[in-house]
Amino acid sequence: MAATPPPTPHHPTPHHPTSSHQASPTPVTLPHTLPFSTRLAHAIRAKRTPACVGLDPRRESLPPALGAASIDDPLALAKLYTSFCRDVIDAVAPHIPIVKPQLACFEALGPAGMMALADTIHYAHARGLLVLADGKRGDIGSTAEAYADGWLAGPWGCDALTINPYLGLDSIAPFVTTAKARHAGLFVLVKTSNPGSRDFQDLEANGSPLHEHVAAGVEHLAADTLPPGTSDAPGQHAYGLVGAVVGATWPKQLDTLRAAMPHVWILVPGFGKQGGRASDVRGAFDAKGLGAIVVSARDVIFAHSRPDMNAALAESQWQTAVERACHDMIERIAADTPAGKLRD
């Protein structure tokens, strides 16, 4: 059963750029002193939830109060994306450990959109959030090195990146090398949430589905990149820097893949709008409530369109709807998964 939205959430202070030519700051790229797995676990424990909010701005879905429907100019729309993402971050930052910007939403606006993305990454870091760039990058050799250098060690300076493994394990190796040096993380596509993932990911190869072969490779890389000094004794739930993406829409496979990847953080998209329920993602967690990050984007950032979250609110109060939806997600996960133990 859905949790009742908090009756009196705090009202975040909206951010409104003062100039249409406001420059986006350069993201901070100072080296991290702790491995990504350690930082992620600390952040999840500090907020007592594994909830992650996706930042997927789309003009047609933005709150009516922002007036996006009348904007065609990419520069003006990018400015609006910047303001919108900052306002969403203000609403959710006190409650969650990590956000996941969807790079394609920003890339669609060209150079102006990339400036909006840079601002979003920088602002999320300034608010104390980890940033997982959802770009599903993948290539070989020097091109893979360039992707890794840019997103994990260079001007973007994200904490983690989603990557595509279907060029083979040697295409993942440059990302792992950079992630080790940067103390960053990776999330490899294993079993994605879309229905069409069956087309290739479920094909039988040597007696098991293709996604299970990918999972075996991911587990090997994760076990090989455990934080220094981490105990690998049974029950210690040690996780490496290489994680996996497994959709909430495949609960049976999620159970199987959790068992096959004991050292792997699992990023679970598809919660909410795509049909994944909290009970469906239970299998992604270890007994202590760690080991997984559950993502919701549209259900939270566009909560103004949900009658259950937007009740009795004016159009201008869309941030309150976002915060209500964030609370609702957190409560659902805590009620129906081992993540509730993070509150003990």
Task: Answer yes or no: 288 catalytic.
Answer: no
How confident is residue 274, by pLDDT bands cut at 50, 70 and 90? low
Please state, for a pLDDT cut of 70, what percent of the chain lies above it: 88
Task: Give the mean pLDDT of 283-311.
Answer: 96
What is the rounded CA–CA span in Å between residue 110 and residue 150? Answer: 17
**Position 28 pLDDT exceeds 80:** no
Q: HSE on the CB side for 87, CA within 13 Å?
A: 26
Percent of residues, the chain, with pLDDT higher than 90: 83
List the structure tokens of 128: 């104390």
CB 91 within 8 A of CB 322: yes
Rounded to whole angstroms, the Cα distance separating 193 from 73 reads: 33
Catalytic, out of 136, 180, 273, 288: 136
CATH class of 36-343: alpha beta
Residue 271's pLDDT is 85
The pLDDT of residue 4? 44
Q: Which residue has the higher pLDDT, 33 or 198?
A: 198
State the sign of the Cα–Cα–Cα–Cα dihedral 152, 36, 141, 163.
negative
Tens digits of residue pLDDT in 108-132: 999 999 999 999 999 999 999 999 9
| Burial of residue 277 (number of CB atoms within 10 Å: 0-12, 13-18, 19+) | middle
Point out the least confidently predicted range of 8-22, 50-64, 299-313. 8-22
Report CA-CA distances (Å) from 130 to 42, 90, 296. 11, 14, 16
What average pLDDT does this structure show over 83-110?
98
Kindly compute the dihedral angle of the four CA atoms of residues 268, 108, 172, 295, in this order, to the nearest 10 degrees: -10
Asked whether the predicted pLDDT for residue 306 surpasses 60, the reply is: yes
Cα(57)–Cα(302) distance, integer angstroms:
9
Q: How confident is the model at residue 203 (pLDDT cuts 50, 70, 90)?
A: very high
Greater confidence (1 vs 145) lies with: 145
The structure's pTM equals: 0.90
pLDDT tens digits for 144-170?
999 999 999 888 999 999 999 999 999
Per-residue pLDDT reduced to its tens digit, 49-70 = 999 999 999 999 999 999 999 9
Beta pairing, strands 208-209 & 204-205: antiparallel
> Which of 122, 121, 123, 119 shows the shortest CA–CA distance to 135?
121
Contacts of 118 (CB under 8 A, 6+ apart): 24, 25, 26, 27, 155, 156
Q: pLDDT higher for 16 or 323?
A: 323
More confident call, 311 vs 15: 311
State how far the Cα of 159 lies from the Cα of 164, in Å rounded to an integer: 17
